Structure 1
């Protein structure tokens, strides 16, 4: 298993700032050629570190409504239902689940219909209550600098370090903390394939 090095982290940081930045520009910043950066990005994608490239739309430019933060107190067992419903709703930009099992989300809603919009989202769900806060200003600066990256074992969920294993099984890349986890995973995978 190849660990992420300083150059990988720099590349991730530059891509987090601008996912459309040319590899040649990134290469100049990190001391590599454009094709070398491309190879590293491909490896990071295959390893599952980079899942997708997205855009960050400034919704204020689109006049998409007023920004609100909604805090929803939930009864046990409602978290997944609410998270999925909120995540798929128009205008919702970020969804958070707290350690207490509540769902908070940041969204833009029509000013005159905020209460009815939230009530519609939460209809037929066991909700203990919710609070809507109007947001005056938002600064969203996701950062990867200074963070420790860790891959998790596909078998046991432990952190994969330099002693770990990586395997491509039927076209998908999996990471394992040790050879025995890889063996167990492959054995179970093959059994499931044979039973299908």
Structure 2
């Protein structure tokens, strides 16, 4: 797997600043042609470094609700389900899960019915404790400066180094830290695909 170079990092910085920046502007900044920039961005998307291009909307200008920061102490067996539910919830703007399983999110909720709305977002029976704080102001400034980039193994979650492997499975490019992880992932995928075919 090829490591990201300084040009890749600069392209990421420019896109983080303005995801709609034309390739011709980026090419002027990095000293490549626009088609070469396009190829690099396509590769960064395929590698999973760039997941999507999005719009940073200031919700306060568009909708009501009270901006809150909610910290949930979730029972370990429910962390994944709570995270998935919140990730798909419209009021949730930012979501974080810590290594010890605490789930924190920033959202705009109805201040008059906060507990009811929170219970609609998350099954509170999966939560041992929670804390809600009013947010005075919030800023989101993603940056790539000075950051070490590493891809995550699709099988075990470890960091994929230059010794890692990658494979296109079912049309998607996956990264693995070692051949054992690749073999386990491929075997499980093949079993699931065979099971799905036998049901049809």
The aligned counterpart of 1:147 is 147
1:94 deviates by 1.1
Please state how far the C-alpha of 1:168 moved relative to its aligned partner. 3.1
Q: How far apart, in 2, do the equivalents of 1:183 and 1:124 lie?
A: 37
Is 1:119–2:103 an aligned residue pair?
no
Question: Any unmatched runs of 5+ in structure 1?
Answer: none
Distance 1:16 1:152, change over 3 A: same
Structure 1 residues 54-76: Cα deviation after superposition (integer angstroms, max 9, x where no partner): 11111111133221011122233
* Partner residue in 2 for 1:12: 12
Aligned residues: 195
- For the residue of structure 2 that corresponds to 1:103, the secondary structure is strand
* 1:188 alignment counterpart: 187
Q: In 1, are the aligned partners of 2:165 and 2:177 still within 8 Å (CA)?
A: yes
1:105 aligns with 2:72: no
Higher-helix-fraction structure: 2
Structure 2 stretches of 5 or more lacking a match? none
* C-alpha separation in 1, matches of 2:94 and 2:18: 19
- Comparing 119-128 with 77-86, greater Cα deviation is found at 119-128
CA contact (8 A) 1:156 1:181 kept: no
Alignment check: 8 A CA contact 1:155 1:181 kept: no
Report the secondary structure of 1:95's partner residue: strand
CA 1:13 to 1:121, structure 2 compared with 1: closer, same or farther past 3 Å?
same
Tell me the equivalent position of 1:50.
50
Q: 1:130 to 1:187 in 2, by over 3 A?
A: closer
Q: Residues 10-37 of structure 1: CA distance to partner in whole angstroms, max 9, x if unpaired?
A: 1111111111110111111111111110
How far off its partner does 1:124 sit?
5.5
The residue number in structure 2 matching 1:130 is 130
Structure-2 separation of matches of 1:147 and 1:70: 27
Per the normalisation by structure 1, the TM-score is 0.84
Cα distance change of structure 1 residues 187 and 175 upon mapping to structure 2, 3 Å threshold? closer
| Cα distance change on mapping 1:131 and 1:160 into 2, 3 Å | closer
State TM-score, norm by structure 2: 0.82
SS at match of 2:76: coil
